[in-house]
Structure 1
Amino acid sequence: MSRSQLDSLIHMANQIAANNAHYGDATVERVHSHLKKFWARSMKRQIVDYLQQDGSRLSPLAREAVERLAREQVARVG
Structure 2
Amino acid sequence: MTDAELKHLIKMLNQISANLARGDSEEQDAARVADHMRRFWAASMRAKIADYAALDEDALVDLSKRAIAVLLSPEVQ
Listed as ranges, the gaps of 5+ residues in structure 2 are: none
Equivalent residue, structure 1, for 2:22: 22
How far residue 22 of structure 1 moved from its aligned partner, in angstroms, is: 1.8
Whichever residue aligns with residue 17 of structure 1, its letter is S
Equivalent residue, structure 1, for 2:34: 32
Question: Residues of 2 paired with 1:68 and 1:12: CA distance?
Answer: 18
Q: May I ask how many residue pairs the two structures share in their alignment?
A: 74
Give runs of ≥4 in structure 1 deviating > 6 Å: none
TM-score by length of 1: 0.85
Equivalent residue, structure 2, for 1:2: 2
How far residue 21 of structure 1 moved from its aligned partner, in angstroms, is: 1.3
Equivalent residue, structure 2, for 1:46: 48
Equivalent residue, structure 1, for 2:62: 60
Say what the alpha-carbon RMSD is for the aligned residues: 1.6
TM-score by length of 2: 0.86
Question: Residues of 1 paired with 2:72 and 2:51: CA distance?
Answer: 9
How far residue 23 of structure 1 moved from its aligned partner, in angstroms, is: 4.2
The share of aligned pairs that are identical, in percent, is 36
How far residue 27 of structure 1 moved from its aligned partner, in angstroms, is: 1.0
